[in-house]
Amino acid sequence: MTDGENATPDVAAQYKMYIDGLWVESETGEEFDDLNPASEESIGKFPKGNEQDVSKAVDAAEAALRGWSETPAPTRGKVVLKVAALLGQLKEFLAREITLEMGKVLLESRGEVQEAIDMAEYMAGEGRRLLGSTTTSELKDKFAMTVRRPIGVVGLISPWNFPISIPAQKMFPALVCGNTVVFKPSSDSPRCGVRLVEMLEKAGVPKGVVNLVTGSGDSVGMPLVRHRKVRAISFTGNRDTGAEILKNAGIKRVGLELGGKNGTIVMDDADVDSALEGVLWGGYGTTGQRCTATSRAIVHKDVFKQFEEKLVERVRKLKLGNGLDPETDVGPLVNKAALEKSRRYVEIGLGEGAKILCGGKAPARKGFFFEPTLFTECTADMKVVQEEIFGPVVCLLRVADFDEAIDAINSVEYGLSASVYTSNARVMFKAIERIEAGVVYVNAPTIGAEPHLPFGGVKQSGTTREGGIEGLLEFSETKTVYVDYSGKLQRAQIDVEPHEGR
């Protein structure tokens, strides 16, 4: 990796795994190609890791655990703060890496790097706190408190759509809490995973504290999940994969972030132009490849036609192309399977009676491109409205009133993110109360999480919260401590006088 803002990413190179402070080959000796989704050309060859590689990485992490956990938390935070500085120095380089590897437009890639910087700065500061709590005891001359302790070796399995910021969202709090890490990036974005680990190495992370193993979910992911020395797993990705992880993990902490089918409610008193911008950005930003993407717009009947006409006009103007081109609005999908999935759901929607206003096709060109697509005349029970597509497809639903809007937005199995546009304070607070989602925005799109606030969903969107204080809770154990300085045996619930409440 070259230092500086003007560094140029390698077009194609061979990469290695990182185990116990060394860059090493896989036990298999095999490799796989990492493809640029805009050109379908290889941008690197990566080791196909296996169970033996995972075991070596876990053993290295276990050996490093005591030394790292005994390192004062503020010192651990300083290492993460150094990573923040490196991210800032290499922001343009890393943004281009993200765009080359997974396709999003360069503007968004820069934003992703900034998100990782913000997360690093926030979590580094938490190394100065790692707050427990103090409370009273029911007995005299007795002190009670809680402290935060590391869990142990944690396995981090990250997706391709945010290949820098989501690993950062997991890794930085895990490290600040004193854990050691085995990191498996997605096979669609391993190069960004390598870049992040390179920066951690340069920041001075001791050997064994962070380990990187590349490869498939079957050969690397599941062995990591099942490994008896791994005390916690944090996974972001597909819902079905999350269910398999729960089946295979055994008795360990498992944090899952499993996607969403997010909706924006546009009420009759909304600022229609503002809502339009929100749905456009939320639905087609990152080519719809966000777990928080706005895939449903639930619009009041009194403003539906106006909203529909304005939205289709704007969607038709979105320019599809390579994310490195500053004129591009929507980049490619990540791979051929994602392209075929979007194509398949368009066919399903048409078969269900939805009407396409624009898009719906893959242009005849190199790369995994799919036109920004807008469906109308949708109903809440349609598959295109119920199931996560993870592509540039937005469905419009017409509703008669607020209650119908709430029923529609809550009708899906997911519950990650939602938004409502309204100028009515009562509607706003009732929506906050009744929407079944872990994140709710008012007069803003369904995307745009901030690092110092918890992020995660309800229902089948996951089991955990990342970011903010709750991000530290995910990667630490609560230890309760009692200090009795009475000089005698005291028995809780027994040696308590009646007048003291017993």
Which residues are the active-site residues? 291
Contacts for 27-35: CB closer than 8 Å, 24+ residues apart: 27/52, 27/53, 27/56, 28/53, 32/187, 32/215, 34/101, 34/187, 34/188, 34/189, 34/190, 34/191, 35/188, 35/335
* Rounded distance between C-alpha atoms, residue 149 and residue 434, angstroms: 36
* Rounded distance between C-alpha atoms, residue 109 and residue 160, angstroms: 13
**Which one, of 326, 368, 327, 286, lies nearest residue 115 by Cα?**
286
**Which one, of 257, 333, 260, 270, lies nearest residue 291 by Cα?**
260
DSSP letter for each residue of 343-365? HHHHHHHHHHT-EEEE-----SS
Token pair of 180 as six digits: 């050691």
Token pair of 302 as six digits: 């009194």
Identity of the amino acid at 111 = G
* Rounded distance between C-alpha atoms, residue 215 and residue 222, angstroms: 11
